[in-house]
Amino acid sequence: MKKIFIKTFGCQMNEYDTNRIYDTVRNIGYIKTNDHLNADCYLLNTCHIRDKSKEKVFDEIGRVRKNYKNKKKPIVIVAGCVAQAESGEMVKREPYIDIIIGPQSYHKINRIIENFNFKNKRELTEFDTEEKFNYLDKIRNNDSNVSSFLTIQEGCDKFCNFCVVPYTRGPEFSRPFEKIIKEAESLIKNGAKELTLLGQNVNAYLYKDGDKIYKLSNLILELDKITELKRIRYTTSHPRDMTEDLIKCYSSSKKLMPFVHLPIQSGSDKILKLMNRNHKVEKYLEIHRMIKEINNDVEFSSDFIIGYPGEMDSDFNDTMELVKNIKFINSYSFIFSPRPGTPASRLKPIDKEIAKERLINIQELLEDYQIKKNQSLIGKSIEVLVENKLRNQDKYFGRNAFLNSVIFEGAKKYIGKLVDIKISKTNRNTLFGKIDEKKNMRAA
């Protein structure tokens, strides 16, 4: 067998794709290795969402070239969103790269690797999403993690003015309902207890079969029936597609986690308009109200872009007010990064120092809510899905309902189980504790 090493950047969809690439190349005799210094094929699965993503790829390739200086050259593949966006320029600038393959062409990877010779560089960047999933549906998903990802939808038709995703992942495509359920059943057979349904616009999922229409809510309620499955999550969603049927799942589904990651980007209507988000802050507040009304346990998290062109102090203050109003937990905030080819990249940027200061302010506020939420759990027993044992430590790792990491003293028998952990201390991102033996008689 030959060995393939994949280094993955970016979002969960890239992680899912990486696993599917491992599954695929197994059919042509390549097995996964974690040893980046001894691979026959070295693949970089790249992300283009922010900053100097292209430069990072070139730096990475430079390191690979050095590491393999006195060894047989591996086949070097650049995949993912940078590959899609920058294909032509990359091979010209870095001849050490052998193959460029965009995210919607992975179904062709076996043929390309098998027929590859070092004199014949290849670039594949067509958008063949349907063909890709038809192909992948025939290859068993070998993921055996307690918590597994499952891509149900790809691409984006929304074209927010700052975002590169519609150009790198192509138009929206929803996988057939029954194929998703089949893959879910197979993952559950492999040991998955939690599934995170993935899509760049996951709540825009829409699959038509004759006169039947399937939405994300239908998928959630169907998965809800599978006894062995304990938890359901989905990410990332858009406020415009947060429909009533989906909102109702927060009371009708027993397994949907009470945690909504719903990016708003800004708390100012003016900025939302400039971003082409096509909704107002009020719409977001209404979703929040509706969900809290049917299930008050639900917590929200968001992504924020700070320093978007045109953002004034008053717009930023509106964003801070929104954070205070919703009390988001587990959120992400980034300084606006102009992405080549997007409409926002042509706008006049705001002062860098002002943007940095605003980022610090919002991160402090977000952190404050996060820490308060975590501290409120000290001394309490919370339900955790145990995922694995930590390497080199006699401790275990799992997550609570709100996706916080929990590290605790436990035992192997609890892996894959929902257990109660008594929390003794916390920091911003992690909760620490030990098994609450009294409460866990049912899990053992």
What residues contact residue 88 under an 8 Å CB cut-off, 6+ apart? 123
Which member of 4, 5, 6, 13 binds ligand F3S (CB under 6 A)? 13
Which member of 165, 180, 216, 322 binds ligand SAM (CB under 6 A)? 165
Query: Is residue 297 a contact partner of residue 373, using CB atoms and an 8 Å limit?
Result: no
> Could you give the string, one character per residue 192-211, with x where binding to ligand F3S holds by CB under 6 A and - elsewhere?
--------x-----------
Which member of 163, 242, 260, 322 binds ligand SF4 (CB under 6 A)? 163
State the DSSP code for 412: G
Distance CA(279)–CA(306), nearest Å, equals 18
Distance CA(174)–CA(433), nearest Å, equals 41
14 binds ligand F3S (CB under 6 A): yes
Closer to ligand F3S by Cβ: residue 198 or 365 = 198
Supply the minimum distance, in Å, between the C-beta of residue 204 and ligand SF4. Answer: 9
433 binds ligand SF4 (CB under 6 A): no
Q: Choose among ligand SF4, ligand SAM, ligand F3S, none what residue 166 binds, the Cβ cut-off being 5 to 8 Å by kind.
A: ligand SF4
Burial of residue 65 (CB within 10 Å: 0-12, 13-18, 19+) is middle
> Could you give the string, one character per residue 229-268, with x where binding to ligand SF4 holds by CB under 6 A and - elsewhere?
---------x------------------------------
336 binds ligand SAM (CB under 6 A): yes
How far are the Cα atoms of 2, 53, 82, 263 from residue 236, in angstroms, in the given order?
35, 21, 20, 8
256 binds ligand F3S (CB under 6 A): no
263 binds ligand F3S (CB under 6 A): no
What residues contact residue 158 under an 8 Å CB cut-off, 6+ apart? 166, 201, 238, 240, 276, 278
Interface stretch with ligand F3S, choices 7-15, 309-317, 381-389, 422-430 (CB under 6 A): 7-15
Burial of residue 35 (CB within 10 Å: 0-12, 13-18, 19+) is exposed
Interface stretch with ligand SAM, choices 38-46, 83-91, 331-339, 355-363 (CB under 6 A): 331-339
- Of all residues in the chain, what percent are helix, strand and coil, respectively (each to 5)? 40, 25, 35
Query: Is residue 217 a contact partner of residue 254, using CB atoms and an 8 Å limit?
Result: no
Phi and psi (nearest 5°) for 379?
90, -10
Nearest residue (beta carbon) to ligand F3S: 10
132 binds ligand F3S (CB under 6 A): no
Closer to ligand SF4 by Cβ: residue 15 or 387 = 15
Closer to ligand SF4 by Cβ: residue 159 or 251 = 159
Phi and psi (nearest 5°) for 383?
-80, 130
Residues 180-219 contacting ligand SAM, CB under 6 A: 200-201
Tell me the residue ranges of DSSP E strands in 251-298. Answer: 259-261
Supply the minimum distance, in Å, between the C-beta of residue 236 and ligand SF4. Answer: 7
81 binds ligand F3S (CB under 6 A): yes
Residue in this structure with the two tokens 């294909």, named with its chain if needed: 87
Amino acid occupying residue 266? S
Chain contacts with ligand SF4 (rule: CB under 6 A):
156, 158-160, 163, 165-166, 200-201, 238
Q: Binding residues for ligand F3S, per CB under 6 A?
A: 10-11, 13-14, 47-49, 80-81, 164-165, 168-169, 200
